[in-house]
């Protein structure tokens, strides 16, 4: 017998799951990504490097900037281009905006309705209007950062290899500094809310992240030894899904907020670090549902860091100069932390700067196996205990904790 979970709601993109029951027991689970493939690796083949980040931004709306930045970094590494701290800080500011926009969307509009028992945030707003408004305020601020750095809220083209189309003004940075401080109170409230929830789903045993907080030259796992993805991560196609599945040394693993906190808490801002320490006992159990709490702590991190960056830039002033980019034959990998976890853009270029090979691995593809394991664990707990409707509802919550991004996951090329 197969129990079908029809298309997930309150997640990005189109996906479903099947729970396979044999002899009265839950035997297996399949996470089926039914969103059509989007062929980005083919789309970018033969394209001039200058246009590539703008195309890659169309992979996913929720984390378009992570895609632009990972793409730009992959291209810069292929050409041996290094950008100064000013450009790095501005990119970081954009990525922080994306954390805020994405985490706030997920926590307040997609998960909170489960916590309070509503089908959506719009209907929840009648009783919990304040909370919904706070979420929207955080999300809107995140989006303003994306617009400021990326040129648009979604699908912007301002992030370029070597710099930006337009640089940000002093006034713009001043409002960022002010508002990030003012919003901090809301984020701390979110931490309290999500810290109060009971854990569910599977416990992850392996975690992977980039070596810097928002990006890196390599990846790290529990042993903190930097590695390239090709050394420890393997991908394979599935017969039932348009998204591929990845393993870390042959086993499932977790990327995303929880992984970042557990591997990189030493890089957090002061208040975020304090909150991490306060909740470390819970978080270190590895229950993937604590990803929600981890995201709330990252809201705090993001607001603190946005204020810090704005201050640094205001103190020293923005020069607004791009680094010249000379195309050459090369190979480069961009490792970025998208809100949902590690994002990899890997390119090879020819002497004219055209893409001759591209591989993109997204957080949801990396988490795919872990999502299945989590569903399996939860289904085993619930089967026979809860009626089917309740079971399906709870399983959807399990999937939601990963904050899966299905659009992102459907265009993975073979190596």
Partner 1 sequence: MMGKLKLGVFELTDCGGCALNVLFLYERLFDLLEYYEIGEFHMASSLQDGGHYDVALVTGTVSTHRDLEVLREARNRSDYLIALGTCATHGSVQGSVEMPIKEKLKAIYGDEGNPMRAMDSKPVVEYVAVDLAIPGCPYDKEELYQALMNIAKGIDPVRPDYPVCVECKLNEYECVLVKKGLPCLGPITLGGCNAVCIKSGLGCIGCRGPLPGEVNPASEYEILKSKGYDDEYIMKKFKTFARWKP
**Radius of gyration from C-alpha coordinates of the chain:** 21
Termini Cα distance of the chain: 36
Residues annotated as binding site for Mg(2+)?
A: 41, 360, 411
55 sits near ligand SF4 (criterion: CB under 6 A): no
Instruction: Give me the half-sphere count of Cα atoms (radius 13 Å) on the Cβ side of residue 255.
Output: 34
189 sits near ligand SF4 (criterion: CB under 6 A): no
Q: How far is the CB of 109 from ligand SF4 (least distance, A)?
A: 18
Phi/psi of residue 194, nearest 5 degrees: -75, -20
101 in Cβ contact with 61 (< 8 Å): no
Cβ-based nearer residue to ligand SF4, 258 or 408: 408
Q: How far is the CB of 6 from partner 1 (least distance, A)?
A: 9
**CA pair distance 92, 176, nearest whole angstrom:** 13
Q: How far is the CB of 70 from partner 1 (least distance, A)?
A: 15
12 in Cβ contact with 407 (< 8 Å): yes
Q: How far is the CB of 61 from ligand SF4 (least distance, A)?
A: 5
Q: From ligand SF4, partner 1, none, which one binds at residue 211 (CB under 5 to 8 Å depending on kind)? A: none
Tokens of 162: 């070597």
Q: How far is the CB of 165 from ligand SF4 (least distance, A)?
A: 11
Q: From partner 1, ligand SF4, none, which one binds at residue 341 (CB under 5 to 8 Å depending on kind)? A: none
**CA pair distance 405, 211, nearest whole angstrom:** 22
Residues that bind partner 1 (CB under 8 A): 7-14, 34-43, 46-48, 51, 54-55, 58-62, 64, 105, 109-110, 113, 119-123, 136, 140, 143, 151-158, 160, 164-166, 237-242, 244, 396, 405, 407, 410-414
Tokens of 402: 């990963």
Cβ-based nearer residue to partner 1, 62 or 313: 62
Beta bridge partners of 12: 405
Q: From ligand SF4, partner 1, none, which one binds at residue 151 (CB under 5 to 8 Å depending on kind)? A: partner 1
User: What sign does the CA torsion over 95, 101, 102, 104 have?
Assistant: positive
Cβ-based nearer residue to ligand SF4, 155 or 226: 155
Q: How far is the CB of 276 from partner 1 (least distance, A)?
A: 29
CA 26 → CA 200, 347, 382, 415, distances in Å? 17, 42, 10, 34
Cβ-based nearer residue to ligand SF4, 155 or 199: 155
Torsion of the alpha carbons at 276, 281, 287 and 289, rounded to the nearest 10: -50
43 sits near ligand SF4 (criterion: CB under 6 A): no
Tokens 């979110």 sit on residue: 190
321 in Cβ contact with 163 (< 8 Å): yes
Element (DSSP H or E) covering residue 229: helix 229-232
Q: From partner 1, ligand SF4, none, which one binds at residue 119 (CB under 5 to 8 Å depending on kind)? A: partner 1
SS3 assignment, position 166: coil
- Give the residue, chosen from 10, 30, 58, 228, that forms a contact with ligand SF4 under the rule CB under 6 A: 58
> What x-and-dash track marks residues 330-359 binding ligand SF4 by CB under 6 A?
------------------------------
Q: From partner 1, ligand SF4, none, which one binds at residue 41 (CB under 5 to 8 Å depending on kind)? A: partner 1
Cβ-based nearer residue to partner 1, 10 or 218: 10
Tokens of 216: 């890196």
Q: How far is the CB of 11 from ligand SF4 (least distance, A)?
A: 16
155 sits near ligand SF4 (criterion: CB under 6 A): yes
150 in Cβ contact with 156 (< 8 Å): yes
Tokens of 1: 């017998």
Residues 6+ apart with CB under 8 A from 383: 19, 21, 25, 26, 391
Q: How far is the CB of 221 from partner 1 (least distance, A)?
A: 26
**CA pair distance 155, 63, nearest whole angstrom:** 9
- Give the residue, chosen from 43, 45, 55, 61, that forms a contact with ligand SF4 under the rule CB under 6 A: 61
50 sits near ligand SF4 (criterion: CB under 6 A): no
147 sits near ligand SF4 (criterion: CB under 6 A): no
Contact positions vs ligand SF4 (CB under 6 A): 58, 61, 154-155
């Amino acid at each position: 017998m197969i129990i079908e979970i029809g298309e997930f709601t309150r997640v990005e993109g189109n996906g479903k799951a099947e729970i396979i029951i044999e002899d009265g027991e839950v035997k297996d689970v399949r996470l089926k990504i039914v969103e059509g493939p989007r062929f980005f690796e083919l789309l970018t083949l033969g394209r001039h490097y200058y246009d590539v980040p703008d195309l890659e931004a169309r992979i996913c709306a929720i984390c378009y900037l992570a895609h632009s930045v990972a793409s730009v970094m992959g291209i810069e590494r292929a050409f041996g281009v290094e950008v100064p701290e000013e450009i790095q800080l501005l990119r970081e500011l954009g990525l922080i905006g994306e954390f805020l926009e994405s985490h706030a969307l997920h926590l307040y509009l997609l998960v909170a309705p489960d916590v309070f028992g509503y089908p959506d945030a719009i209907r929840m707003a009648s009783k919990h209007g304040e909370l919904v408004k706070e979420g929207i305020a955080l999300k809107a601020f995140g989006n303003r950062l994306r617009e400021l750095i990326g040129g648009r809220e979604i699908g912007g083209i301002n992030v370029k290899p070597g710099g930006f189309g337009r640089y940000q003004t002093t006034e713009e940075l001043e409002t960022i500094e002010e508002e990030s401080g003012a919003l901090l109170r809301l984020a701390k409230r979110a931490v309290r809310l999500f810290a109060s929830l009971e854990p569910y789903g599977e416990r992850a045993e392996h975690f992977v992240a980039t070596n810097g907080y928002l990006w890196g030259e390599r990846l790290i796992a529990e042993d903190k030894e930097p590695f390239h993805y090709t050394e420890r991560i393997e991908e394979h196609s599935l017969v039932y899904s348009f998204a591929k599945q990845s393993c870390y040394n042959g086993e499932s693993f977790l990327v995303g907020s929880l992984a970042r906190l557990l591997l990189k808490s030493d890089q957090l801002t002061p208040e975020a670090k304090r909150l991490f320490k306060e909740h470390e006992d819970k978080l270190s159990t590895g229950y993937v549902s604590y990803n929600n709490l981890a995201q709330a702590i990252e809201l705090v991190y993001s607001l603190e860091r946005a204020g810090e960056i704005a201050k640094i830039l205001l103190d020293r002033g923005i020069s607004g100069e791009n680094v010249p980019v000379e195309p050459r034959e090369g190979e480069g990998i961009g490792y970025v932390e998208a809100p949902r976890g590690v994002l990899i853009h890997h390119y090879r270029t020819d002497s004219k700067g055209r893409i001759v090979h591209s591989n993109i691995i997204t957080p949801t593809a990396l988490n795919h196996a872990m999502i299945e394991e989590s569903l399996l664990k939860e289904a085993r707990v619930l089967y026979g205990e809860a009626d089917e409707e309740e079971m399906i509802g709870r399983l959807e919550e399990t999937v939601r904790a990963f904050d899966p991004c299905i659009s992102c996951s459907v265009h993975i090329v073979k190596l």
